[in-house]
Amino acid sequence: MAQLTLLQAINDALKNEMKKDDRVVIFGEDVGYVGGVFRATEGLQKEFGESRCFDTPLCESGIIGAAIGMSLYGLKPVAEIQFLDFIYPAFDQIISEAAKMRYRSGGQFTCPLVIRAPYGGGIKGGHFPSKPYDAKGLFISAIRDPDPVMFLEPKRLYRSLKGEVPEGDYTVPIGKAHIVQEGADVTLFCYGAMVPVSTEAAQKASSQGISCEVVDLRTITPLDMGAILAAAQKTGRVVIVHEAVKTAGFGAEISALISERAMEYMKAPILRVAGFDTPFPYTLEHVYMPDSIRVLRAVEKVMQY
């Protein structure tokens, strides 16, 4: 079994599906000859040709609009938005068209496309998978899904960790959370780049005799509600960790879910450790982004309640 970085695992998933299905096409800004700004598509144009891996103009709405048209006519497009920060011009195509195509056509059409984009801080640039194994397996599942999938890649983890990745074909189910670490006292919910942060906090908490369960959500839509409720009920104490701003961040949805369906199990208030409600500060991103110390403080707080 090969030891791959998250970036290599994504490239391997793309190569696997392009070999398996000639309907899979990849396009976006600089993804062809250059291989993408992070080299996620490196070597694919050379192996599969310019008709299946090609560059586009700098026009996010055009990239997604073209992907929608391709998917409706039988292709399996993988469209790259170079940085998630630049996706807003394509929101009309994503929300009004791709997301609603099955509904608006009464089930006559589906829109099997993947929109992939690097997200998050930690590399001094740019404003979900958390390990290489999940990156490849989830990406293959995304390409094969009959509906549109947004596949967000934490660029902080692209080359910072390696993991065992099987060769060839395998999938990781979409909408299925993963228990990274079993625990009895506090449950930490996280995803993407916050998984290693939460795991590090759990290790620090263990030195104080606090046992933390770390749950990697993997996907937030669909959300594994059963796994969330089971883990929350198990410990009765919950800390939610995400990189996005706290106000209207997805942690609020998880908190609401637990409050509505498992409040009687709670031994302490549900806490969120998140980014601050400010524009992302490039030069102070180490202050903005949650780290293991901030997570540990939240763990200690719910334990003391």
pLDDT computed for residue 291 by the predictor = 96
* The pLDDT of residue 236 is above 70: yes
pLDDT band for position 128 (50/70/90)?
Answer: confident
Burial class (CB within 10 angstroms; exposed 0-12, middle 13-18, buried 19+) of 213:
buried
Is residue 241 over pLDDT 80? yes
Q: Mean pLDDT over residues 270-290, rounded?
A: 90
Same fold, 2-165 and 178-304: yes
User: Which percentage of the chain shows pLDDT scores above 90?
Assistant: 90
pLDDT digits (tens, 9 = 90+) for 136-156: 999 999 999 999 999 999 988
Pairwise CA distance, residues 104 & 192, whole Å: 32
pLDDT tier at 209, thresholds 50, 70, 90: very high
Q: Would you identify the CATH topology of the domain 2-165?
A: Rossmann fold (3.40.50)
Which tokens go with 79? Answer: 């469209």
Fold topology of 178-304? Rossmann fold (3.40.50)
Which residues, at least 6 apart from 121, have a Cβ–Cβ distance to it below 8 Å? 127, 156, 243, 280, 285, 288, 289
pLDDT attached to residue 122: 63
What percent of the chain is predicted at pLDDT more than 70? 98
- How many residues appear in the chain? 305
pLDDT at 45: 98
Report pLDDT for 127: 45
Domain residue ranges in the chain: 2-165, 178-304
Instruction: Say if residue 64's pLDDT is above 50.
Output: yes
Is residue 125 over pLDDT 70?
no
pLDDT of 123 reads: 53
Can you tell me the mean pLDDT for 7-32? 97
pLDDT higher than threshold 80 for residue 268 = yes
Mean pLDDT, residues 122-148 taken together: 84
Mean pLDDT of the chain: 95
pLDDT band at 23 (very low <50, low <70, confident <90, very high): very high
| Whole-model pTM over 0.85 | yes
